[in-house]
Structure 1
């Protein structure tokens, strides 16, 4: 699949993958700083953003999507970074194609299995009747019945597009809803990437815990972990300066 991406900057290539319900847009503010040091590729994964939609959606095909992008761009080796679902894609890619990844950064996700915990979000998104809304406020009002935190609603509604015929989802909401268990799948037990790997964890997030470190060591023996104080799961949005500092320090 030919993924949509935004390329900017100069230097060694750094590919960044967003998380579930997100898009390349989530990283634009950080990109403005990192593109001073790297050639950045901000990628929309399949069924997200402006990339194509497809019935097949799992880490195996997302890994192959990324490989196709690297091949098309003539990139034999890259720095690779992914957040949440994108971190799982990045980990799987590094294990499958270790010679293509110079260094790996995983933002607030571990290799373990995560039970489904997006039911309320999916329920809220599926409740929005696109044919009946006339503004983003209408969509926000409907979503507020399921999700009380405005910042989360604002993030989710970035995937709500609009053209002359009306509103539409940029995410493939039916396929994501049907296959949501794919997102939490653990890495294969035998999977291993021995290159330099940085795990960035939100200090206020429970996605990476001390109990995960042994599992991380099993899959990524050359790893280090940095906890970003005061950050939750969306650490790149909550503490961008700290994330940029850690990325620069690790990649240089």
Structure 2
């Protein structure tokens, strides 16, 4: 079940001032070649680019991609952000950098126009891409995140510290290694489904278990990841902000800034969903996204 909110009126007062980006964000940004997977879809429709959230990888959207293609979408590209999954590591972890990575991948693939969908960190990357390159983005879907500061730096910092402290001896089977890591994370990361999500990043490399995430870079740039870059010119294309009704990441206090930067935004909530909307309410999520993606005659 969806709750739709009317578009917020244009703000009449001053906007809150966000903290400035750290110095690294102002340095020269070099793109990294992103690992990606393509799910073939209709050739007569624009490709859909899907961007995962913090601690995630391209596999988070694999089932979603297949479902959207079955409903008639264009081909779907899922990709690993820098410092995540199989993509290269880099000391820089800002939205400008992550947006540039996506731009370079699309250029390499010959894609000049696309639809972009992102969840959480991926949503902020998608918004950055749309604001930087409106010529490249035909429409935007942001899943359970707004273009404002996310005030949970300490929580994510705690998760990173817990992951860094995990110790696994060599020679264990994968199942034994995961169980040991789960046991070591559980005092800090108490929700089983969250530990399971973090453990998808545990990989074996030459007989030793390690995290495929670049925890150092992510930790160093947590403030950048929780913030959002400052933009003054809005994105004028269609935009869907799709949140979970039980999630704290997208609330009515964000509406003025959403409206300022995305004046054509449609704000919807899926009832009963938390932050991982696409997993918790899969059918409702696919229906909402499909309606936004496909032309009215479809």
Normalised to the residue count of structure 2, the TM-score between the two structures is: 0.82
* Alignment match, 1:101: 137
Match for residue 248 of structure 1 among 270, 276, 290: 290
- 1:112 alignment partner in structure 2: 148
Within the alignment, does 1:27 sit opposite 2:69 as a pair? no
* CA deviation after TM superposition for structure 1 residue 121, in Å: 1.1
**2:108, 2:148 → 1: CA distance?**
31
Confirm or deny: 8 A CA contact 1:47 1:171 kept in the other structure: yes
Q: How many residues align?
A: 252
Q: Distance in 2 between matches of 1:121 and 1:133?
A: 26
Relative to structure 1, the CA distance from residue 67 to residue 189 in structure 2 (aligned partners, 3 Å threshold; closer, same or farther) is closer
Distance 1:89 1:232 in 2: 20
Q: Within 2, Cα distance between the matches of 1:221 and 1:47? A: 32
Question: What pairs up with 1:175-186 in 2 under 5 angstroms?
Answer: 175-186=217-228
Q: Please name the residue that 1:48 is paired with.
A: 84
Aligned position for 2:127: 91
Q: Do residues 162 (structure 1) and 193 (structure 2) align?
A: no
CA distance in 1, matches of 2:93, 2:168: 24
Q: Distance in 2 between matches of 1:7 and 1:239?
A: 24
Q: What's the offset of the Cα at 1:189?
A: 4.2
- Any idea what the Cα deviations from partners look like across 1:102-133, whole Å, max 9, x if unmatched? 11000000011123131221121111124568
Partner of 2:37: 6
Contact 1:17 1:86 (8 Å CA) reproduced: yes
More displaced 10-residue stretch of structure 1: 33-42 or 11-20 = 33-42
Aligned to 2:135, what secondary structure does the other structure show?
helix
Q: 2:50 aligns with which of 9, 16, 37?
A: 16
Per-residue deviation at 1:177?
1.4
RMSD over aligned CA atoms reads: 1.3
CA contact (8 A) 2:148 2:228 kept: yes
The CA deviation string for residues 178-209 of structure 1, in whole angstroms up to 9 with x for no partner, is 22111111231414101000000010001110
TM-score under structure 1 normalisation?
A: 0.96
How far apart are the structure 2 equivalents of 1:129 and 1:216? 43
Structure 2 stretches lacking a partner, 5+ long: 1-31
- Judge conservation of contact 1:63–1:89 (CA < 8 Å) in 2: yes
Match of 1:129 in 2: 167
SS of corresponding position for 2:226: coil
**Structure richer in helix, relative to its length:** 1
- Deviations, residues 69-127 of structure 1 (Å, cap 9, x unaligned): 11011000001000000000000000000010011000000011123131221121111
Shift of 1:221: 0.3
Q: Structure 1: 5+ residue runs without aligned partners?
A: none
Give the Å deviation of 1:248: 0.5
3-state SS, counterpart of residue 194 of structure 2:
helix
Which residue of the partner structure matches residue 173 of structure 1? Answer: 215
CA contact 1:133–1:139 (8 Å) conserved in 2: no
The answer on whether the counterparts of 2:168 and 2:180 sit within 8 Å (CA) in structure 1 is no
Q: CA deviation at 1:143?
A: 0.6
Question: What's the offset of the Cα at 1:163?
Answer: 3.1
- Name which structure has the greater RCO, CA cutoff 8 Å, separation 6+: 2
